[in-house]
Amino acid sequence: MKNLKIVLPILLLTSLSFSSFAQQPTVLASAETEKDKKKKASVEKTDAVVEEPAAKKEEDGEPAFTFSGSVDAYLHSSFKTENPYTGLYGPSSSFANLKGFSLGMVNLIASYSGEKSGFVADIVFGPRGQEAVFGNPSTGQRIINQAFAYYKFSDKVTLNLGQFNTFLGYEVISPAVNFHYSTSYLFSYGPFNHTGARLDFAFDNGMVAKVAVMNPTDLVEFNPYNTYTLGAQIGKTTDAGGIWFNFLYGDQDGKLDKDNLGSDDESAGKLFQADVTLGYNLSETFYLGFNASIQSTAVGEEESNGNIIDATGDPSSFLGFAVYPKLTLSENFGLGLRAEYFSVKNGHLNIFGLDGNGDGSVMAFTLSGNYKAGGLTFIPEVRIDKTSEDSFYKFKDGAAEPKSLMPSLTLAAVYKF
Output the pLDDT for position 47: 40
Output the pLDDT for position 398: 79
What would the pLDDT profile of 236-245 be if each residue is shown by its tens digit?
A: 999 999 999 9
- Residue 155 burial (C-beta neighbours within 10 Å; 0-12, 13-18, 19+): exposed
Residue 247 neighbours by CB distance under 10 Å: 15
Q: How confident is the model at residue 137 (pLDDT cuts 50, 70, 90)?
A: low
CB 362 within 8 A of CB 390: no
Output the pLDDT for position 60: 54
Name beta bridge partners: 370. 334
Through-space distance between the first and last CA atoms of the chain, rounded to whole angstroms:
27
What's the mean pLDDT in 44-48?
Answer: 40
What's the mean pLDDT when you consider all of the chain?
A: 86
What would the pLDDT profile of 282-318 be if each residue is shown by its tens digit?
A: 999 999 999 999 999 999 998 888 889 989 899 999 9
Phi/psi of residue 295, each to 5°? -130, 135
Residue 223 has pLDDT above 50, yes or no: yes
Residue 26 has pLDDT above 60, yes or no: no
What's the mean pLDDT in 268-294?
Answer: 97
Output the pLDDT for position 30: 34
Of all residues in the chain, the percent with pLDDT exceeding 70 is 84
Among residues 106, 25, 109, which one has the least CA distance to residue 73? 106
Q: Where are the domains of the chain?
A: 34-416
Output the pLDDT for position 44: 39
Question: Strand order of the sheet with strand 266-267?
Answer: 266-267, 301-304, 307-310
What's the mean pLDDT in 37-46?
Answer: 38
Distance CA 383, CA 393 (A): 17
What would the pLDDT profile of 57-77 be if each residue is shown by its tens digit?
A: 444 567 799 999 999 999 999
CB 100 within 8 A of CB 121: no
What would the pLDDT profile of 194-212 be if each residue is shown by its tens digit?
A: 999 999 999 999 999 999 9
Output the pLDDT for position 272: 98
Output the pLDDT for position 410: 98
Give the 3-state secondary structure percentages of the chain, helix then strand then coil, rounded to 5: 10, 50, 40
Q: How confident is the model at residue 34 (pLDDT cuts 50, 70, 90)?
A: very low
Which residue type occupies 233?
A: Q
Which CATH superfamily, name and number, covers 34-416?
Answer: Porin (2.40.160.10)
Cα-based distances in Å from 350 to 2, 5, 93, 204, 347: 11, 10, 12, 44, 6
